[in-house]
Amino acid sequence: MAYNEKVLEHYEKPRNVGSMDKNDVHVGTGMVGAPACGDVMKLQIRVNDAGVIDDAKFKTFGCGSAIASSSLVTEWIKGKTIDQALSIKNKDIAEELALPPVKIHCSVLAEDAIRSAVEDYRKKQKGGADANGN
């Protein structure tokens, strides 16, 4: 299919591809999707003491829209607080990239990836506080 220019742009020059140390307590890792479905997204966020996401990285196995959606999300969440990041909806992603109906699931996956990364971060913070408490 012929892709929208924004998708192509992100696909050709993906932002923030890479990985961060998943054992770092400041890093939250989200992994969503399944290889059998043809889409797997890994999104990592690093949150500073002020509760702001100061870095984000992704790796994605999937079609051009899936790669573009994850690239876009890393760009959007950097510099945002966790709550601001969580307010990003799949609709926003789909609109920005002008995704056709068959590709909407890519934007849903990207939204899920944010939630999953935040969840992992929060779990670690809780675990970390407990450890400190002991």
Q: Does the annotation count 37 as an active-site position?
A: yes
Q: Does the annotation count 106 as an active-site position?
A: yes
Give the integer Cα–Cα distance in Å for 87 and 102. Answer: 23
Q: How far is the CB of 59 from another protein (least distance, A)?
A: 4
Query: Interface mask (CB under 8 A) for another protein, residues 99-128, using x and -?
Result: ---x--x--xx-------------------
Q: How far is the CB of 56 from another protein (least distance, A)?
A: 14
Contact 129, 40 (CB under 8 A): no
Q: Which of 5, 34, 132, 134 binds another protein (CB under 8 A)?
A: 34
H-assigned helices in 13-80: 64-77
Contact 30, 120 (CB under 8 A): yes
Sign of the alpha-carbon dihedral angle for 106, 107, 110, 116: negative
- Is residue 39 within the footprint of another protein (CB under 8 A)? yes
Active site residues: 37, 106
